[in-house]
Amino acid sequence: MENFSFQNTTKIIFGRGTQHQVGAECRHHARKVLLHFGGQSIKKSGLYDQVVASLIDAGVEFVELGGVQPNPRLALVHKGVELCRAEGVELILAVGGGSVIDSAKAIAMGVPYEGDVWDFYSYKTEPKTALPVATVLTIPAAGSESSDSSVITKEEGWRKNGFTHKVQTPVFSILNPELAFTLPKYQVACGAADIMSHLMERYFTNARPVELTDALIEATLRTMIRNVPKVLANMQDYDAWAEVMWSGCVAHNNLLDTGRIGDWASHGIEHELSAMYDVAHGAGLAVVFPAWMRHVYRQDTNRFVRFAVEVWGLRNDYWNPEATALAGVQALQDFWVSIGMPRNLAELGASPEKIDQMATLATGGDRWTLGNFRKLGQADVAAILRGAV
């Protein structure tokens, strides 16, 4: 086990009806908040009205800023920063999924910073402080509701960069599985692929032994595999949704990282894919991750055998561990296809012509490598994408 430091301070308020607590919780931190959200879905579902009523009941003033898009944009972050400064906002309340939360985190870091918040996402400097962020989660997927990271897209040059710093960890997050009942099924499946990818990025490590976290990750993956088909079969299945929503948070709150070094190459490759084609992050991961696995599994075939047996419940072919390992990868891909995810770049709507360009961008033309389980150069990334055609 590697040495580590772990702290996650987010207060999770989980369960039916918990959105009505949002005003009282905000009041512990702020007199005035920015209510930040995406499109019309929270108005149609009634959640917007419930949040507003709860804020008013608690005597919390608010201004609002909607319009967050998937792959949240820097321009709206700038707008939010200006608004918060002008209005004396003390907390950013994100009501939505990962994109809304990430946009809120960027605004929260931007308000007290004299320069451009993109300085953080381009690794020029680090924030000293931030406004508190809180969330009412509507989509189990990104895990941003209790993470210390966010991803923002700069329209100019279409750069999509992630940034990790503890000042953006939400102070509280409200998770009510009922709020997910009305999601489009494709979005549910994309969220599931994202959650499972967060778990697998951590799982595939060369750190050894890491028995506790291996077993915790496997437990969380199995919970996803059992419950995602249940919610897709019955979108009102509260019990199954509760498992998925809590798994999505646990998957990314850094507990399952402890003592390990995660891989994250598949996320790096997918970032190029979604920057190039604006595809959903989860759908991109569903295409990239199995191709990555087939490219790298010989790095530690035993770990892939364990993945097949412990996560997917496959029988080990003791005399042919490679076959077991590859059967595990196939089981993952078949599962994702069964919930509606694409199998390859063609189904994702991404043409193979741009593979070399993406591989160049992902590795800076071989100036840096991707991943930790196996360090990948430009040729590896191109081979992985070609394996996903």
Residue choice 215, 346, 379, 389 for contact with a second copy (CB under 8 A): 215
Q: Which is nearer to a second copy, 116 or 237 (CB)?
A: 237
Q: How far is the CB of 383 from a second copy (least distance, A)?
A: 35
Site string for a second copy, 17-56 (x = CB under 8 A): xx--------------------------------------
Residue choice 4, 155, 184, 298 for contact with a second copy (CB under 8 A): 4
- Cα separation, 82 vs 253, in Å, equals 30
Judge contact between 306 and 329, C-beta under 8 A.
no
- For position 10 contacting a second copy by CB under 8 A, the verdict is yes
Judge contact between 21 and 135, C-beta under 8 A.
no
Residue choice 90, 145, 243, 380 for contact with a second copy (CB under 8 A): 243
- For position 2 contacting a second copy by CB under 8 A, the verdict is yes
Residue choice 258, 299, 301, 360 for contact with a second copy (CB under 8 A): 258
- Cα separation, 279 vs 288, in Å, equals 12
- Structure-token pair, residue 125: 């400097």
Q: How far is the CB of 316 from a second copy (least distance, A)?
A: 15
- Cα separation, 223 vs 226, in Å, equals 5
Q: Which is nearer to a second copy, 4 or 368 (CB)?
A: 4
- Cα separation, 282 vs 244, in Å, equals 15
Q: Which is nearer to a second copy, 80 or 248 (CB)?
A: 248
- Cα separation, 183 vs 126, in Å, equals 36
Count of other CB atoms within 10 angstroms of residue 215: 11
Q: Which is nearer to a second copy, 20 or 386 (CB)?
A: 20
Residue 164 buriedness (CB in 10 A; 0-12 / 13-18 / 19+): exposed
**Of residues 216-235, which lie at the interface with a second copy (CB under 8 A)?**
216, 218-220, 222-223, 226-227
Q: Which is nearer to a second copy, 24 or 383 (CB)?
A: 24
- For position 246 contacting a second copy by CB under 8 A, the verdict is yes
- For position 211 contacting a second copy by CB under 8 A, the verdict is yes
User: Which range, of 4-12, 48-56, 111-119, 264-272, touches a second copy by CB under 8 A?
Assistant: 4-12
- Cα separation, 143 vs 101, in Å, equals 10
- For position 194 contacting a second copy by CB under 8 A, the verdict is no
Q: How far is the CB of 146 from a second copy (least distance, A)?
A: 10
User: Which range, of 14-22, 70-78, 131-139, 282-290, touches a second copy by CB under 8 A?
Assistant: 14-22
- Cα separation, 280 vs 270, in Å, equals 10
Residue 233 buriedness (CB in 10 A; 0-12 / 13-18 / 19+): exposed
Residue choice 100, 242, 332, 359 for contact with a second copy (CB under 8 A): 242
Distances (CA, A) of 222 to 306, 311, 381: 13, 6, 29
- Structure-token pair, residue 1: 């086990």
Q: How far is the CB of 93 from a second copy (least distance, A)?
A: 18
**What does DSSP assign to residue 32?**
E
- Cα separation, 149 vs 166, in Å, equals 8
**What does DSSP assign to residue 114?**
S
Query: Backbone phi, then psi, for 329, in 5-degree steps?
Result: -60, -45
Judge contact between 64 and 34, C-beta under 8 A.
yes
Residue choice 13, 24, 232, 309 for contact with a second copy (CB under 8 A): 13
- For position 82 contacting a second copy by CB under 8 A, the verdict is no
User: Which range, of 155-163, 252-260, 275-283, 316-324, touches a second copy by CB under 8 A?
Assistant: 252-260
- Residue numbers of the site for a second copy (CB under 8 A)? 1-18, 209, 211-212, 215-216, 218-220, 222-223, 226-227, 239, 242-243, 246-247, 250, 255, 258-259
